[in-house]
Amino acid sequence: MEIDPKTGLPLGAIEWEDLAKSSQRIKVTTDKKRYGKIVTVVSGFDNGIDVRKTAKALKNELACGGTYKDGVIELQGYHVKKIKPLLIKLGFEEESIQE
C-alpha cells in the first residue's frame, strides 16, 4: 500500500475522496447572526468529504474564524465571492457550487 507523502493517507483513499468531491451539490449563502454579524454558510457536503479539513483550509485561506458541524461550514464575515475559487482549488467541481 502506497502512502501519499503530502497527506499521509493511502493513495486509494485520496482517489475516493476526489470522486466524492465531484458529486457534491454545494450551496454558499450568508446568514445574519447576533448584533448584525454576517457569516458565510457553506452547506451540501455529503458523506465521503472531510468537512473538518475543508473548513480548516477555507479558514486559513480567508484568514477568518469559523466552525463546522453537521456537514455545514460557517465562516465569519462575508466571503461569498471568494469561496468558489477556493473550493475549485480544493478539488470541487465548478458546476456543483451554487452561490
Helix (H) or strand (E) holding 85: helix 80-89
Residue 3: Cβ within 10 Å count: 10
The answer to whether the beta carbons of residues 41 and 31 sit under 8 Å apart is: yes
pLDDT, tens only, 52-96: 999 999 999 999 999 998 889 999 999 999 999 998 888 888 888
Residue-level pLDDT at 21: 60
Mean pLDDT, all residues of the chain? 84
From residue 83, how far is each of 1, 8, 25, 33, 59 by CA, in Å? 35, 26, 14, 19, 10
The dihedrals phi and psi of 10, each to the nearest 5 degrees, come to -65, 145
Give the SS3 label for residue 80: helix
The answer to whether the beta carbons of residues 67 and 59 sit under 8 Å apart is: no
Q: Would you place residue 4 in the very low, low, confident or very high pLDDT band (cuts 50, 70, 90)? A: low
Residue-level pLDDT at 43: 92
Task: Please give the residue that has the higher pLDDT: either 60 or 8.
Answer: 60
Residue-level pLDDT at 77: 95
Residue-level pLDDT at 93: 84
Look up the CATH superfamily of 26-98.
SUI1-like domain (3.30.780.10)
